[in-house]
């Protein structure tokens, strides 16, 4: 990590709470810049990809600023990326919302589909069953609560490491009506369905855990 904190870019592509993310990352100790500039996003120690709104619109916004290239190139070089909310969902193969199917970035196999619960959207605080050995949730209690706002989620995880020399992905889960993927740690690519930037002290702790890996 360069310097004491590390430089984090919050990718600005028109679909995310970029100011909230900026404040939360700064609180967690990072030097933060909001930009959609390709070169600056590539040069940062860490890249946070926010996301609010419809899957298809977020994908279109990402591609408009070459965000798909930025994410792909960073990951190819082992450079850390953190996706949040729809910024996590777009990392999967496809999303289906209101009958409309859109291709995702296909970093992970899987489909983002409607939450099947009595109350939708899932809005408010919920616990997460952290994966064993998780670095993202290190130092956080099992009863810690995180802030969710979403109507769609990934309900199945199928990717496992084919190379025994590589660490398998760590997948954490939450439940609203049924279990869904709440967070993933997969090499340099991490993501959360919940909003760390809206999760108070617990979210700040989680972001520090990420920043410390840069």
Q: What is the pLDDT of residues 183-200, one digit of tens each?
A: 999 999 999 999 999 999
Q: What local confidence, expressed as pLDDT, does residue 100 receive?
A: 85
Residue owning tokens 């869904």 = 180
Which residues, 6 or more positions from 103, have their beta carbon under 8 angstroms from its beta carbon?
Answer: 59, 93, 94
User: Contact at 8 Å (CB) between 88 and 51?
Assistant: yes
Q: What local confidence, expressed as pLDDT, does residue 5 receive?
A: 64
Alpha helices in 37-108 (DSSP H): 38-43, 55-64, 67-76, 86-89
Query: Residue 100: which region, alpha, beta or left (left: phi > 0; alpha: psi -120 to 50)?
Result: beta
- Give me the mean pLDDT over the 102-110 stretch: 97
Q: What local confidence, expressed as pLDDT, does residue 174 receive?
A: 98
150 is catalytic: no
Of the two residues 162 and 72, the one the predictor is more confident about is 72
Q: What local confidence, expressed as pLDDT, does residue 182 receive?
A: 98
What is the band of 160 on the pLDDT scale with cuts at 50, 70, 90?
confident
The whole-chain average pLDDT of the chain stands at: 94
Is residue 159's pLDDT more than 80?
A: yes
Is residue 162's pLDDT more than 90?
A: no
Q: 179: which 2 tokens?
A: 């279990």
CA-to-CA distance for 3 and 37, rounded, in angstroms?
A: 22
- Give me the mean pLDDT over the 105-119 stretch: 97
CA-to-CA distance for 47 and 10, rounded, in angstroms?
A: 6
CA 160 to chain centroid, in Å, comes to 19
**Straight-line distance from the first to the last Cα atom of the chain, in angstroms, rounded to the nearest whole number:** 5
197 is catalytic: yes
Is residue 166's pLDDT more than 50?
A: yes
Is residue 176's pLDDT more than 90?
A: yes
Q: What local confidence, expressed as pLDDT, does residue 163 receive?
A: 52
What is the band of 165 on the pLDDT scale with cuts at 50, 70, 90?
low
Is residue 38's pLDDT more than 50?
A: yes
Q: What local confidence, expressed as pLDDT, does residue 3 receive?
A: 42
For 96, the enclosing helix (H) or strand (E) is: strand 92-97
Is residue 92's pLDDT more than 90?
A: yes
CATH 3.30.2000.20 fits 7-211, yes or no: no
- Give me the mean pLDDT over the 133-153 stretch: 98
Sheet strands side by side (includes 152-154)? 100-103, 92-97, 108-114, 152-154
Is residue 2's pLDDT more than 50?
A: no
- Other beta carbons within 10 Å of 61: 20
Q: What does the DSSP 8-state code read for residue 195?
A: B
- Give me the mean pLDDT over the 43-68 stretch: 97
Which residue in the list 122, 155, 176, 195 is annotated as catalytic? Answer: 195
Q: 145: which 2 tokens?
A: 């609560």
Would the pTM count as exceeding 0.75?
yes
Which residue in the list 22, 85, 122, 185 is annotated as catalytic? Answer: 85
Widest pairwise Cα distance in the chain: 48
Nearest of 47, 83, 74 to residue 190 by alpha carbon: 83
């Amino acid at each position: 990590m360069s310097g004491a904190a590390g430089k984090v870019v919050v990718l600005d592509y028109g679909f995310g709470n970029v100011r909230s993310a900026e404040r939360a990352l700064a609180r967690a100790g990072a030097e933060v810049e909001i930009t959609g500039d390709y070169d600056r996003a590539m040069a940062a120690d860490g890249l946070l990809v926010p996301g609010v709104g419809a899957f298809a619109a977020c994908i279109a916004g990402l591609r408009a600023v070459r965000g798909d290239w930025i994410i792909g190139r960073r990951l190819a070089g082992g450079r850390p990326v953190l996706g949040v909310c729809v910024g996590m969902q777009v990392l999967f193969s496809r999303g289906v919302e209101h009958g409309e199917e859109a291709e995702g970035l296909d970093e992970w196999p899987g489909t983002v589909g409607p939450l099947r619960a009595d109350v939708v959207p899932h809005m408010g605080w919920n616990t997460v069953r952290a994966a064993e050995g998780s670095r993202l949730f290190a130092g956080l209690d099992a009863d810690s609560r995180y802030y969710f706002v979403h109507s769609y989620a990934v309900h199945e995880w199928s990717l496992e490491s084919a190379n025994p020399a590589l660490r398998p992905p760590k997948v954490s889960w939450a439940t609203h009506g049924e279990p869904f993927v709440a967070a993933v740690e997969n090499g340099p690519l991490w993501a959360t369905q919940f909003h760390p930037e809206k999760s108070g002290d617990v979210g700040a702790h989680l972001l520090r855990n990420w920043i410390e890996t840069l």
